[in-house]
Structure 1
Amino acid sequence: MKIEYEAARLSILRKLDLLDSAPSESFDRITRIASQVFNLPIAAVSLTDQDRQWFRSRVGVDYLEIPRDKSCCSEVVDQSRVLVVNDLLESEHYRDSMLAESGIRFYAGAPLMTRDGFSLGAMCVFGTEPRQFNQQELDTLRDLAAMVMAQVELQHAVGRVDSGTGLPNYLQFVEDLEDLARDHPERIYYALSTELVDLSQASLLQRVMGPSYLENLSRAGSAKLQQILGEKARVYHIGPGQFAHLETGTEAQVLVRAQRVQEALVHIKVGGIAPFMLRPVLGVVPFEPGTTNASAVLRTAHSASRDAREAELKVGLYSKQSDASHQRSFGLIADFGESLNASNQLQLFYQPQIDLRTGQCVGAEALIRWQHSTLGNISPAEFIPLVENTPLGRDLTDWVMKAAIAQTALWHQAGLPITVSVNITAANLDEEDFTDRLLGYLQVANLPLSAIGLELTESGLLSNGRAARMQLEALAASGMQISIDDFGTGYSSLAYLQDVPAQVVKIDRSFIDGVELNRRSQTLVRSMISMAHELGYRVVAEGVETEASLAFLKELGCEQVQGYLLAKPMPVEDFEAWSAVRQ
């Protein structure tokens, strides 16, 4: 953590372009004041580089830099707090330092802190005689350090005003909330986040409309907002097409005003034309300035606006429950990477697939389970959709393939020659090395291709590009079983069946559940099985839970079934015990 902090600190120092820069009167004025206020011969604004202390401004000293080793300012930076050394010669650490050897006896320094907690250097004063510092002098030194940082921000840090809209920006929002925390710490305010377009489609908008689209929309939106709220209202430009402002009053009053703002924003014009995909929404969150920081205020207000957009509402009020759900999702994604390397979190369960003609177990579907280290069991229905939409989707499938192949090899060696099916996604087939990796794992395990099957949903098959389709065709041609999973739930269940590279159709459980009691379901299932057979597919029915539905499927010539009637998904030990009993 210390190494990461130092790397980030040095990065900020370089971005501010302060090191080795020309003298500046604005900094020199502060060092002269420091020397006079404390009646000390030497004062400096010191910046801590990787291996040196460089003086951005100095009074009473000729050299521009000294080594960082045994530098008092370096300790100020490392500890991020005021340091006073009454007599360097009495200090075991500093008595043989360059400062002490040059005649310095007294040192006092206050850290130069950025708003996000990084210490860049020190506002420091030196004396040639030992000295004490009282509390008032310490407070004054801290104030001078704050003045230095204010000057740094003024000159280098990205100003407080957005150049495109002329509105105050995020940094000004942060500063204003700090002022509110000092002046009105217990007063309830409402932060309103305004989003003119769906920001999740920002890249598409720029691609279609050009890079200036969002800039022009932001300018038009800022003018409209200021007109609606009045010139005295302080509106902040937070991001492309995204604004924030504060309100007071009751919750009901704020929500009514927010709705009026939204209804007015619908009529924004850019160049006399209504902007493409303009869909303004507002998010509202109450907060107390003394207890909530600016970042949390904006995040929760934006969360409320996203909830409004997803629910197709004009205005959304912050919901702790909804926010907690999103926070949990984000946390699960962050934690899943660690689970891949843990030895006791991920596990495969296996659900048997039974041949209806022989009653034998001829296969099993491998289903991943996650026992989170602190949250306990996480449902696959919750974490798989999250992970699949991140780069971790590749690692998830890779883990499942390796684990399933290793276990299948053990079963084949023990005389249980079943086919184990693994679920993959369309994104996996877009990986250029997917086929090579899979074949490599099978070769290492000394397994035939027929030992492992791949299951892919209808939507996954339909979204495949040419390269992905070629991988799938090659695998099917080489003897690997390809199954169309959740058949019947997609939006095009017929046209692609003529040439899809698969051998098996798995009818989704939603059609099988209660099929013996529902004539329409019976008609659909009968048609699916008949059509699949006519096209040369074998049929597996999922979700078989009653004897009646099993008999109905057997009568229709369905080849294989899986479901709780026969067996639930089981860990390896239970699956092996179940297999032994069934045999």
Structure 2
Amino acid sequence: EVAYMQLLRSAFASLRAASSVRFVTTVAIGVRPFLLGDVPADDVLRGAASAAQDARRADGSIALYSSSNDTAHQRQYDLLRDFGAALEAGDQLRLVYQPRIELATGCCVGAEALLRWRHPRLGDVSPAEFIPIIEQTSLARPTTQWVLDAAMDQLAAWRHTGIDIALSVNISAANLGEADLIERIHLGLLKRNLRPDQLEIELTESAIMDQPDQALAMLRELAGAGICLAIDDFGTGHSSLAYLQRLPAQVVKIDQAFVRDLTEAAGPDFVLVETMVGLARKMGYRCVAEGVETGKAAVILAGIGCEEAQGFLFARPMDVEQLVCWMSEHRSGNAPTPMVA
């Protein structure tokens, strides 16, 4: 097997050196060893395709079949196949909500809507597993639309019960290519008689930088429609300060990676977060810290001017019924203690 793959690589190198074609193509070769008659033909082909997928991610363009990688690819394929049905099923997908707390008052001023999937056979599938798969396919559009519709339906239901908070929804880089996204959001708000400022759209810094010009144009249109915009995972991307200054966002969310180890108002972690908060505030953004798990971190964040926080210190993501009960309890005099440094 090793000698065969070395032969393939040598032949590959010769082809590249001899090529006079004026455009660049890439080739991925997957090698699936088997004994004739021992492995079904379909499994051989699928195994070769799995190895080819590994090759696309490697520098050598050639990869040998790996049973463990094949198992992972098969699970991804199964999830992708089943997710389309989940969008239509009506009982597999749901939103959960994590409150956003104003540090100065301890009041809940908003919530982030997060997608969850309960697979009929596999049980709860982590969004960290299925969302990256979905975002690379044509299912990205209907998935985002499902989340938008569910979030706006919930905002409308809350309005009738006297709950008036903003709800933030995540969109991905894949959605930036949808020419009618803004129109769909606008029509959804009109249909439910919702104010634009009740909906906040979150886009990660890295997603913005994937398509900076397209992102800037779309964000400007959304802002022009009165919709609040948030830069998620602030500090983890590769955007320049000059570009960030041009974005019509109102909120930046500082990634939990910077907040998790914040235990004292000194040291590198503190200096980094203090600088990020100070920079964001000077650029006119409202700051939200993600992943706040300790009272000490919340006090430090409040002391450096961070306006809001979300994290397990205050509440984990909850189903809508739990969130309503949680908000009712906190309105009844049990609000979290204001974080004053």
TM (norm. structure 2) is 0.89
Describe the superposition over 1:360-386 as per-residue Cα deviations: whole angstroms up to 9, x where unpaired: 000000000000111111111111111
Structure 1 match to 2:163: 416
Helix, strand or coil for the counterpart of 1:354? strand
1:367 to 104, 111, 114: 114
Percent identical among aligned pairs is: 45
Flag the structure with more relative contact order, 1 or 2, with Cα contacts below 8 A and sequence separation at least 6: 2
Matches within 5 A, 1:483-502: 483-502=230-249
Matched ranges for 1:309-320 at <5 A: 309-312=56-59, 316-320=63-67
Deviation of 1:392 after TM superposition, in Å, equals 1.1
Q: Which amino acid aligns with 1:553?
A: L
Segments of 5+ residues of structure 1 without an aligned counterpart are 1-253
Which letter does structure 2 place at the counterpart of 1:533? Answer: R
Paired residue for 1:571? 319
Q: Deviations over 1:145-167 (max 9, x none)?
A: xxxxxxxxxxxxxxxxxxxxxxx
Partner in structure 2 of residue 562 of structure 1: 310
Q: 1:534 aligns with which of 282, 296, 307?
A: 282
Shift, 1:420, TM fit:
0.3
Q: Deviations over 1:177-197 (max 9, x none)?
A: xxxxxxxxxxxxxxxxxxxxx
Opposite residue 78 of structure 2, the aligned amino acid is: G
Change over 3 Å in CA distance of 1:316–1:432 after alignment to 2: closer
Aligned residue among 195, 200, 214 for 1:453 = 200
CA distance in 2: counterparts of 1:504 and 1:544, whole angstroms:
17
Residue 266 (structure 1) aligns with:
13
Trace 1:222-301 onto structure 2 (pairs within 5 A).
254-268=1-15, 271=18, 283-301=30-48
Match of 2:142 among 391, 395, 399: 395
How many Å separate the matches in 2 of 1:318 and 1:466? 40
1:563 is aligned with what amino acid? G
Which amino acid in 1 is paired with 2:209? L
Matched-pair contact (CA < 8 Å) for 1:508–1:542: yes
Q: What is the one-letter code of the residue matched to 1:440?
A: L
What are structure 2's unaligned runs of at least 5 residues? 332-341
**Equivalent position of 2:189 in the other structure:** 442
Q: How many angstroms does 1:321 deviate by?
A: 1.6
Is residue 509 of structure 1 aligned with residue 256 of structure 2? yes
CA–CA distance in 2 between the matches of 1:318 and 1:431?
Answer: 37
C-alpha separation between the residues in 1 aligned to 2:27 and 2:182? 45
> Which residue of 2 is the match for residue 49 of structure 1?
none
Q: Is the 8 A contact 2:209 2:238 kept in 1?
A: no
Match of 2:73 in 1: 326
Whether the 8 Å CA contact 2:170–2:201 is kept in 1: the answer is yes
The 3 A distance-change label for structure 1 pair 568 and 265 is: same
Structure 1 residues 320 and 418: CA distance shift in structure 2, 3 A: same
2:291 aligned residue: 543
Higher helix share: 2
Per the TM alignment, residue 555 of structure 1 is displaced from its structure 2 partner at its CA by: 0.5
> Is the CA contact (8 Å cut-off) linking 2:87 and 2:93 kept in structure 1?
yes
C-alpha distance in 1, partners of 2:105/2:193? 28
**d(CA) in 1 for partners of 2:74 and 2:318?**
31
CA distance in 1, matches of 2:25, 2:215: 36
Distance 1:471 1:312 in 2: 35
Partner of 1:430: 177
TM-score (normalizing by structure 1)? 0.53
Instruction: Count the aligned residue pairs.
Output: 330
Q: Shift of the alpha carbon at 1:493?
A: 4.6
Q: Is it true that 1:581 corresponds to 2:322 in the alignment? A: no
Distance in 1 separating the partners of 2:115 and 2:28: 39
CA distance in 1, matches of 2:267, 2:157: 44
Following the alignment from structure 1 to structure 2, what is the Cα–Cα distance between the partners of residues 305 and 431? 30
Q: Does residue 482 of structure 1 match 2:236?
A: no
Separation in 2, partners of 1:455, 1:280? 37
Contact 1:259–1:315 at 8 Å: present in 2 too?
no
Cα deviation for residue 476 of structure 1 reads 1.3
Q: In the TM superposition, what whole-angstrom CA distance separates every residue of 1:275-315 from its partner, at most 9, and x where no partner exists?
A: 97687775432323224344432331242243245244575
Partner of 2:88: 341
